[in-house]
Every structure is written in structure tokens, then in C-alpha cells.
């Protein structure tokens, strides 16, 4: 059985999604530290972000609404196993 590799507690699939989410946040004019740590926080549940904005003493309130939506979708992607959801909506699963 092949198991997904882990890097600092982050599943390999989520590890690959961090740059994508961080790039979208950077397009929304967030700084590099906020973008990367926000993406890691949302996808992998690694605790507070880094920097002044979303760091240990900050919160997500000053972020633009679009960035909050991106982070919400990243949180769903990071916490749900989408394959099991897709299986439940598959007619072949219910036929057997």
C-alpha cells in the first residue's frame, strides 16, 4: 500500500495546494508572508499565520472579502476528503 508522503504534518496533496492558494491571495494584493501563511493555515490547520495581519496577535478581519472567500474554500478543500463526497453522489455507489 502506498501512503501519501507528509511534510511537516501537511499531507502531500495539501502541500501542493499551498502555492496555488497563496498565488490567488497574492493576486488580491496581500503581501507574501500573509499569502503563504494564510494558505498554509487554511489548508492544513497549522495554527495562526505569520506577520502582523493574521499572526498570533492579529486576525482575518482586515483582509478583503474576496481573500476571505478564497480562504474559506481552501479550508473546505483542506478538511474534507472530496473523494468520499463524490462517491456519495455517484449513482454506481448506491446501485450495489
Cell reading at 26: 497574492
Cell reading at 27: 493576486
pLDDT digits (tens, 9 = 90+) for 42-55: 888 778 888 888 88
Could you please report the per-residue DSSP string of 34-92? Answer: HHHHHHHHHHH--SS-SHHHHSTT--STTS-HHHHHHHHHHHHHHHS-HHHHHHHT-HH
Q: What is the model's pTM?
A: 0.68
Confidence band for 57, pLDDT divided at 50, 70 and 90: confident
Cell reading at 59: 486576525
CA-nearest of 93, 94, 78, 68 to 14 is 78
Compute the average pLDDT of residues 35-64. 88
How many angstroms separate the first and last alpha carbons of the chain?
25
CB 27 within 8 Å of CB 64: no
What are the domain boundaries of the chain? Answer: 6-95
Amino acid at each position: 500500500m502506498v501512503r501519501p508522503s507528509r511534510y511537516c504534518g501537511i499531507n502531500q496533496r495539501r502541500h501542493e495546494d499551498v502555492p496555488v492558494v497563496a498565488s490567488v491571495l497574492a493576486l488580491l494584493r496581500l503581501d507574501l508572508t500573509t499569502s503563504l501563511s494564510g494558505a498554509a493555515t487554511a489548508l492544513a490547520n497549522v495554527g495562526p499565520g505569520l506577520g502582523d495581519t493574521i499572526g498570533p496577535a492579529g486576525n482575518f478581519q482586515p483582509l478583503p472579502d474576496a481573500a476571505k472567500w478564497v480562504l474559506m474554500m481552501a479550508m473546505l478543500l483542506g478538511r474534507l476528503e472530496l473523494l468520499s463526497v463524490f462517491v456519495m453522489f455517484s449513482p454506481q455507489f448506491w446501485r450495489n
